[in-house]
């Protein structure tokens, strides 16, 4: 039997406590699978005395995560503190500088500092693993870096924020307004301390930028993600989209194009019958298209103690087995700085507008679309509500640029009341 593998765990919240529980309860299973004993040397958190439902008295205590990361009796530093800077970053850097392997669940850290940390890990001969950072329990990092390594990836997309999917699903199923569904999610404790991380699309954008780096061999670039949250999605859009056979999801999509790397996280329509359309509640889904494998769909819990700790343990056991994969699937110094490109791959669009009850109003809207080279696929007008009528249009594939031109022209017709809603329809 090899020497025990000694963990130092920083951050004892939901996920940290979940990891402690697995390490304490599954000793024999882990020994059988790796040939090594997995032990915890020391832990660190903000509050030593909080009841976590799992005893911590057997382990050395450090108030300071950086001190924990540097301990001689720690082989793997497990970072479960969170946050893009502060102690999480300082302790991760300290561990890597000391040549220790790091396992983290921290998407913000990777999205903002992934390239520098990957280069540091490589320079020090350490590995940096982060399966739990993207889509909780779904093994998407391992799938992309290892199982699909023989593919050119053509698109990676997914629903990667369970809270947003819960809110959108409740709006659709229970007819709740955005505000009501948000309050319900808040009551259930789903929202991050800063809710904008969830509903503003930032958390999901972090995850998309990490997946794009692995999929396309590029330096992680969160700042280039085109971000739009779900705050402007109305119950009307949810209903009208459903009427046309679609569901609205906060969808991340990344593609490498001739113009550069597209990364977009925004509310999109997907066919109701597609796997993404069927995704309910807080569940996550990642859809990957590879030139050899075709399309694969991964679905599972994106948060929670068990699923996230499961992903952390997968990384720890890989290290115990001697698996050492480059952070983003290839040497950090070989990752390209991709040119960011605005999402411009032609897709169909869903448009909803309130049209004034005037002769020729519909013709003017159709002309604005036609003049921009946009062809209408489907159209529906509902009964007038006072002096306007809701009109829905599904276009054939067109670019964002053409759509912007059409929307600008519509604004000048004087027959559209307010701003039309325009949402991409992603084909899956």
Please list the active-site residues.
Answer: 207
Binding part of the chain for ligand HSE, among 37-45, 161-169, 310-318, 395-403 by CB under 6 A, reads: 161-169
What is the rounded distance in angstroms from the CA atom of residue 127 to the CA atom of residue 95?
Answer: 11
Minimum CB distance to ligand HSE, residue 139 (Å): 16
Binding part of the chain for ligand HSE, among 113-121, 143-151, 156-164, 312-320 by CB under 6 A, reads: 156-164
Minimum CB distance to ligand HSE, residue 112 (Å): 15
β-partners of residue 298 are: 286
Binding part of the chain for ligand HSE, among 32-40, 157-165, 336-344, 405-413 by CB under 6 A, reads: 157-165
Contact 397, 414 (CB under 8 A): no
The residue among 164 and 425 lying less far from ligand HSE, judged by its C-beta, is 164
| Contacting ligand HSE within 200-229 (CB under 6 A) | 203
303 binding ligand HSE? (CB under 6 A): yes
101 binding ligand HSE? (CB under 6 A): no
163 binding ligand HSE? (CB under 6 A): yes
426 binding ligand HSE? (CB under 6 A): no
The residue among 145 and 283 lying less far from ligand HSE, judged by its C-beta, is 283
302 binding ligand HSE? (CB under 6 A): yes
Compose the 78-97 pattern: x for residues touching ligand HSE by CB under 6 A, - for all others: --------------------
Minimum CB distance to ligand HSE, residue 357 (Å): 43
> Which are the contacts of 386, defined by CB distance < 8 A and separation ≥ 6?
none
Minimum CB distance to ligand HSE, residue 48 (Å): 25
162 binding ligand HSE? (CB under 6 A): yes
H or E, element range at 206? helix 202-216
104 binding ligand HSE? (CB under 6 A): no
b or e along 375-412 (b: 16 or more beta carbons within 10 Å of the residue's beta carbon)? eeeeeeeeeeeeebbbbbbbbeebbbebbebbbebbee
Binding part of the chain for ligand HSE, among 159-167, 285-293, 340-348, 391-399 by CB under 6 A, reads: 159-167
Minimum CB distance to ligand HSE, residue 285 (Å): 12
Contact 34, 75 (CB under 8 A): no
In 11-100, which ranges are E strands?
38-44, 60-62, 76-79
Contact 91, 69 (CB under 8 A): yes
What would the DSSP string read from start to end of 330-375?
S-GGG-B-PPEE---S-B-EEEEEEEES-TTHHHHHHHHHHHTTPP
- Map 115-173 to HEC letters: HHHHHHHHHCCCCEECHHHCCCCCCHHHHHHHHCCCCCEEEEEEECCHHHHHHHHHHHH
What is the rounded distance in angstroms from the CA atom of residue 82 to the CA atom of residue 131?
Answer: 14
What is the rounded distance in angstroms from the CA atom of residue 200 to the CA atom of residue 225?
Answer: 12
The residue among 40 and 108 lying less far from ligand HSE, judged by its C-beta, is 108
Give the one residue of 180, 192, 228, 272 binding ligand HSE; rule: CB under 6 A.
Answer: 192
Residues that bind ligand HSE (CB under 6 A): 161-163, 192, 198, 203, 302-303
């Amino acid at each position: 039997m090899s020497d025990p593998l000694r963990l130092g765990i920083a951050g004892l919240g939901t996920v940290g406590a979940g990891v402690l529980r697995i390490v304490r309860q599954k000793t024999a299973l882990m020994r059988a699978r790796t040939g090594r004993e997995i032990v915890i040397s020391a832990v660190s958190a903000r509050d030593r005395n909080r009841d976590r439902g799992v005893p911590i008295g057997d382990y050395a205590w450090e108030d300071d995560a950086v001190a924990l990361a540097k301990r001689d009796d720690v082989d793997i530093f497990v970072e479960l503190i969170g946050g893009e800077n502060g102690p999480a970053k300082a302790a991760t850097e300290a561990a890597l500088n000391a040549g220790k392997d790091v396992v983290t669940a921290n998407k913000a850290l990777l999205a903002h500092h992934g390239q520098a940390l990957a280069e540091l890990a490589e320079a020090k001969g350490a590995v940096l693993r982060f399966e739990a950072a993207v889509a909780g329990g779904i093994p998407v990092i391992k799938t992309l870096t290892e199982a699909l390594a023989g593919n050119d990836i053509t698109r990676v997309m997914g629903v990667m924020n369970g809270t947003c999917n819960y809110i959108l699903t409740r709006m659709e199923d229970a007819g709740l307004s955005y505000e009501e569904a948000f309050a319900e999610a808040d009551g259930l404790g789903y929202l991050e301390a800063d809710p904008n991380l969830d509903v503003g699309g930032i958390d999901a954008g972090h995850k998309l930028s990490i997946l794009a780096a692995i999929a396309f061999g590029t330096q992680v670039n969160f700042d280039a993600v085109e971000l739009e949250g779900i705050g402007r999605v109305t119950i009307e859009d949810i209903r009208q989209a459903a009427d046309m056979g679609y569901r609205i999801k906060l969808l991340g999509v990344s593609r490498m194009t001739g113009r550069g790397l597209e990364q977009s996280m925004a509310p999109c329509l997907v066919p109701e019958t597609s796997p993404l359309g069927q995704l309910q509640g807080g569940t996550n889904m990642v859809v990957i298209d590879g030139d050899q494998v075709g399309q694969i769909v991964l679905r599972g819990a994106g948060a929670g103690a068990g699923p996230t700790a499961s992903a952390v343990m997968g990384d720890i056991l890989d290290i115990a087995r001697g698996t050492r994969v480059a952070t983003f699937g290839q040497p950090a110094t070989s990752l390209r700085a991709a040119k960011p490109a605005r999402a411009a791959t032609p897709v169909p669009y869903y448009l909803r507008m309130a049209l004034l009850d005037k002769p020729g109003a519909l013709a003017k809207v159709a002309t604005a679309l036609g003049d921009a080279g946009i062809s209408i696929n489907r159209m529906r007008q509902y009964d007038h509500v006072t002096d306007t009528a809701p009109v829905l249009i599904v276009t054939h594939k067109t670019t964002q640029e053409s759509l912007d031109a059409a929307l600008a022209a519509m604004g000048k017709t004087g027959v559209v009341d307010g701003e039309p809603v325009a949402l991409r329809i992603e084909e899956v």
